[in-house]
Structure 1
Amino acid sequence: MDKNATSFIIVNGKGAGNDALRAAVSKLRDEGHSIAVRVTWERGDAGRYVNEALAQDAQTVIAGGGDGTINEIATALALASVEKRPALGILPLGTANDFAASAGIPQEIDPALRLAIAGRACPVDLARVNDNAWFINMATGGFGPRITSETPEKLKAALGSISYFIHGMLRLDTLKPDRCDIRGENFHWQGEALAIGIGNGRQAGGGQALCPQALIDDGLLQLRIFTGEELLPALFNTLTRSDENPNAIDSESAWFEITSPHDIIFNLDGEPLSGRKFRIDVEPGALSCRLPPGCPLLSVR
């Protein structure tokens, strides 16, 4: 790899004071790597920094944060021209780090940063939602997004991914299934959905493998619907034993359409999107992402 090629690290503001990250960046700079660091303060910063990286012909843009930070940066990269689009690197600094964990990216900062800068760049798919939103990992609907979006930041900071389960148990009185109609290639289902996962990646909500067979380079999205009337056992099964849930319905398609007679919320890698109709299309090979050897999310490892 050309050490003179600039890598941009865009760090979520919550991780700005990370001493281990500062030490890892200094070490790589001492080895001759050109690394620029930018810290987000408010919404839109990541997109502006991606544009700055494009203007400087950066070879890699590294998302330093959780799934929401990866989503924001991946979206900005997807909007850039193919000719100038740098590779995406991932530095897991969030609470759950679902995409990084399922991709086999090291949780330790030093090896993760080295992978993000010098790892093999692999073509990966993105999913486009209603023409103006994207996700790289997963769209989740039902009680999962409501739990995720409502879990207090202090609880997440103190307990990590288990905080989602605890908060869900505390909010059982407000959680109701969503009435919806879901269509895909050779697939149609209508009914009451307690939870919906549409996966380019495999897990969400702090380690829950909602779409355990998903691959990010096969041009397909995986669907899993959890149905049922008894909310407490469904919540327990979905959050702890999702692969064994007797009320799970699975499908795969290059697209899905979801309609509902009432507003529902889909969580796109941590970013909520509300509406009554969603069209989700996979965009094959939309980005290059630096991933570890043997990455379980790739069809060719």
Structure 2
Amino acid sequence: MRARVIYNPVSGREQITKYLVAILRILEEAGYETSTYETTPEPRSAAKEATRAALEGFELIVAAGGDGTVSEVINGISNLPKRPLIGIIPAGTTNDLARSLKIPRGDLLEAAKVIAKGQAIPMDVGKANDKYFVNIAAGGYLSDITYGIPPRLKGAFGYLAYLIKGAEKLLLVKPIKMRIEHEAGVFVGEASMYFVALTKSVGGIENIDPYMLMGNGLFTLFIIKTASIFEILQILGMIIQNGKHITHPKVEYIHTSFVTAESLDQQPLLLNLDGEFGGTGPVTFRNLHQHIRILGNTTDYASPAELNNHTAKLLKEIANLEK
């Protein structure tokens, strides 16, 4: 079997290059004939290489870098009829997908050992118009936090840079009149932002949907129906503390296989896809059920038996949470 390691040399304060030989040794001992590709500043460098490697028949593509590198690799293979396994060596600031898949984030060699172990997890992929995402899409205010920070600041301050930028943006939040359609109906009204999630971890917070089952064919849709700083902070606090944000009166919480979103006033809905800018216009999200397989270290995903029981369990747990 052949593996292609696509790595970002500047991720993780340039730690990947330091450990690259040891990572290759771990993969080769697991039976992979392994080669590497170093990404460049050229747009979509990782995506283009992922497409090329997949078309050449590589059985495994490893994305070594931050969430942006992972997202590019997934975009590079998601439109292909035959898609290789994906491995992740997380070396970014938040590493949300790795966090959800229980891939070690502080030790690159331990992450490589997870790939060598070979536990393939079937993952849904979101398609937003003609682009793909595997963790989260967000629209409205605060959606530009992750791509609005210069890489140099992220490298120097890490997660603190996101907190500082978020605090700064909260002061600018205003309501936007939106129209958002989903399986359960249509929302038309003022909101500050919406989220379309495929995993539980967003921006380093691991409890965005306490009842999500990865790979079940459904997005978790949140609509934040307030622009009040106090209410937004209250909702964030509930996410971090106990997951009861899903019952907050200013939060719409829905599971759906599709979402359409558009602004009904002059304020554009800036779109964030896995931490990268995704455009401003109206968008349609479709869930591509178990479209790819990613090597991880968790059992928290949808097997056929879990799919059958998940809806009833979800309704019961939410009812208990509302008491």
TM-score after normalising by structure 1: 0.87
Quick check: 1:161 aligned with 2:184?
no
Quick check: 1:278 aligned with 2:283?
yes
1:47 is paired with a residue of what secondary structure?
Answer: helix
Give distance in 2, aligned partners of 1:188 and 1:31: 49
Distance 1:160 1:183, change over 3 A: same
- Partner residue in 2 for 1:75: 75
Displacement of 1:239 in angstroms is 4.1
Contact 2:63-2:88 within 8 A present in 1 as well: yes
Percent identical pairs in the alignment equals 26
Give distance in 1, aligned partners of 2:34 and 2:295: 16
Displacement of 1:152 in angstroms is 3.4
Contact 1:141-1:267 within 8 A present in 2 as well: yes
Query: Structure 2: 5+ residue runs without aligned partners?
Result: 307-323
Q: What is the letter of the counterpart of residue 186 of structure 1?
A: A
Distance 1:103 1:17, change over 3 A: closer
- Partner residue in 2 for 1:11: 7
- Partner residue in 1 for 2:115: 116
TM-score after normalising by structure 2: 0.82
Moved more, 44-53 or 72-81: 44-53
| Structure-to-structure mapping, 1:6-155, within 5 angstroms | 6-15=2-11, 17-18=15-16, 19-29=18-28, 33-41=32-40, 42-82=42-82, 85-107=83-105, 108-130=107-129, 132-155=130-153
Contact 1:164-1:206 within 8 A present in 2 as well: no
Give distance in 2, aligned partners of 1:249 and 1:162: 29
Contact 2:140-2:269 within 8 A present in 1 as well: yes
Deviations 1:74-106 (A, max 9, x none): 121112222xx2111111111110111022112
Deviations 1:194-251 (A, max 9, x none): 23111111222232643333333111111111222422x2342344433344322100
Contact 1:211-1:224 within 8 A present in 2 as well: no
Give distance in 2, aligned partners of 1:123 and 1:285: 5
- Partner residue in 2 for 1:269: 274
Q: CA RMSD in A?
A: 2.3
| Structure-to-structure mapping, 1:247-262, within 5 angstroms | 247-261=250-264, 262=266
Larger strand percent:
1
Moved more, 254-263 or 239-248: 239-248
1:13 is paired with a residue of what secondary structure?
Answer: coil
1:69 is paired with a residue of what secondary structure?
Answer: helix
Displacement of 1:63 in angstroms is 1.0
Q: Which runs of 4+ in 1 moved over 6 A?
A: none
Distance 1:93 1:14, change over 3 A: same
Displacement of 1:13 in angstroms is 3.4
Displacement of 1:39 in angstroms is 1.1
Distance 1:143 1:28, change over 3 A: same
Distance 1:237 1:65, change over 3 A: farther
Contact 1:46-1:72 within 8 A present in 2 as well: yes
Q: What is the letter of the counterpart of residue 21 of structure 2?
A: R
Displacement of 1:52 in angstroms is 3.3
Give distance in 2, aligned partners of 1:55 and 1:268: 25
> How many residues are matched?
292
Distance 1:51 1:172, change over 3 A: closer
Distance 1:223 1:72, change over 3 A: same
